[in-house]
Amino acid sequence: MQADKVLWIAGLACGVDTTVVRGDVDSQRFSVFGLRQDRLVAVESVGSSGDHMAARRLLADGKEITPGMIADPRISLRDL
Give the pLDDT confidence score for residue 3 in this predicted structure: 63
Per-residue burial over 25-58, b if 16 or more Cβ lie within 10 Å, else e, is eeeebbbbbbbbeeebbbbbbbbbeebbebbbeb
| Domains parsed from the chain with CATH numbers | 7-75 (3.30.390.30)
Q: What is the pLDDT of residues 28-71, one digit of tens each?
A: 999 999 999 889 999 999 998 888 999 999 999 987 889 999 99
